[in-house]
Amino acid sequence: EVQVLESGGGLVQPGGSLRLSCAASGFTFSSYVMNWVRQAPGKGLEWVSFISGSGGGAYYADSVKGRFTISRDNSKNTLDLQMNSLRAEDTAVYYCAKGRLNWNDGSMDYWGPGTLVTVSS
């Protein structure tokens, strides 16, 4: 059974940093792109970042470029998101989502339950 589970959310002050992790199981992790998608309270979905199966390619939404870094450890089946210089507008539930393919056509077939990040003083 495919499972993805996020961790690491919490309350952080503006300008601070936080590292999210996602543990994956039930599939050949290195064969699929992985994504981070966020949803601000009461708002819609926003794609944040994705990383290729090998980890050699990482891509970001303009809203987080230069502040967030995505990475993966294929030996441990884990995905991370390092978030720096956090702003109030980064407050959201962050989802880890498995890509359906080994490249990103935008389809994500398995999602974790999400982890809440709150940026507030």
Partner 1 sequence: QSALTQPPSASGSPGQSVTISCTGTSSDVGGYKYVSWYQQYPGKAPKLMIYEVSKRTSGVPDRFSGSKSGNTASLTVSGLQAEDEADYYCSSYAGSNNLVFGGGTKLTVL
Residues found near partner 1 in the complex (CB under 8 A): 35, 37, 44-47, 50, 57, 59, 61-63, 95, 97, 100, 104-109, 111-114
Q: Closest distance between partner 1 and the C-beta of residue 117, in Å? A: 16
Question: What is the DSSP pairing of strand 10-12 with strand 115-119?
Answer: parallel
Nearer to partner 1, 29 or 60 (CB): 60
Contact 30, 74 (CB under 8 A): yes
Nearer to partner 1, 12 or 64 (CB): 64
Q: What's the DSSP call for residue 120?
A: -
Q: Closest distance between partner 1 and the C-beta of residue 121, in Å? A: 27
Measured at the CA of 38, the angle between CA 102 and CA 45, to 5 degrees, comes to 90
Nearer to partner 1, 13 or 45 (CB): 45
Stated as kind and residue range, the H or E segment containing 114 is none
